[in-house]
Structure 1
Amino acid sequence: MQSVILSAITTALRGGYYAVRIPITFFLVSISVLLSSALIINNSVQLLSFEYYSIIHAQQYWRLLTGHMIHSSWDHLFWDLIAFALANAYLEHHCRAKMLSGLVVGILGLNLFLLSPLASIQEYSGLSGILYTQVTLAALIWATKNKTILAFMPLVIILIKTLFEVLSGSSAFMQNGWQLYWPAHIVGAACAFAVFAVGEVMPATLPSGTLLHRK
């Protein structure tokens, strides 16, 4: 019996069939709902938003994470989480490594952009930037897996929505809350293309004989 238990633990640590996979999508959505609801109800989104002065001068570095998790209105929260949950759950099921890479690269890329002189705002909140990373990444993987004309429709829809937001300066869905900041969507999509490109190039550069598992 002891050997069976030890074998199960060893297999789990190695990522085998007994491994417990943390449901990252559910965890992130739950955190966002809880934080956003509390802040919206109390009209205190600024407490955890991405705020340039507080990060740089007050060393409130947690805003680099919480700013992407909170939302300024109920419709902002609803539409962001619906799209994020669908895209991230798809990535989590089909390609967990790319899902994690998208989250990390998306957050880092957006933070670097928002802290740079290129950004024209001091405050930012919402998942939409990271959402664009995960939605675009999911659409790229979907198109690659299916390889039909219809498989490119999600990418076309993303492009049309983005063009509408750039040209109109308003969101296609959100009516309340802070004003749309579409450059974050462009940066998020660019991060997705970077993650996808690296994932496609890396297998070709691995040494011969390297064992590689891809989904």
Structure 2
Amino acid sequence: MKQSVIMSLCVPLLGACAENGFDPLSALAPSAGEVQELDSASTSQLYLSVVNGLLAQGRYRAALAYLDQYAVKEKRTPHFRQLHGEALLGTEQYDEAIAAFSSLESTGLAPEGFNGLGRVKAAQGDWPVAISNFERAVALRPSSAEFLNNLGYARLVVGGDSLGKAEFNLLQAQELDPASESIRTNLLIALTLAGKDEEAERLLSGIPASKKRAEVRRFAADWVKQHQVVADAAKEDM
């Protein structure tokens, strides 16, 4: 899904340690002067933190292994099911991921559930259903820059009458998270598709490094060109 499906699980931890057979809990333990005996619930929570790190690194199979082996007591919690859905999505087990994300609907993580469902459908190429799920995520949490970014990108892909809404969503997302490169790139695509070249150039001018600025400009131009090729092919098939 290119820019828009980047996950927000950002706990930078321990991937290399786990790979080499070390126990990640050793790196999460308190300092010697603060050592306390951990109960089983605390241990499970620590392993969920390890899973966050593995997901952030794109190590989805390792995340599944940790969830299955170390966080067994958390399997019924919404947090476990959310992480499980992320790992299943990352390994392209789409039906299982849908089941995991759907189970969050009646919990406090319902917005994450709908966002996850949207990303599954986007990965399957079903963009209209992806949009429907992203809309439900945004309705539940309108201030989430991530959800707005995903919704905006999905609307860019669909194109047509959705482009105006996509631009609005992405402008909202950027105001909420001005530092996000993903949001900035998606907004640049939206402005380019809308023919708003001056606004697009102003957005690009906020990138201080000329090399990076050129890379982002080229990426957006290539995306728009490819989008147009797909759109033209669709018209010929009608």
Asked if TM exceeds 0.5, the reply is no
* TM-score, structure 1 normalization: 0.32
Higher share in helix: 2
Structure with bigger RCO (C-alpha 8 Å, 6+ apart) = 1
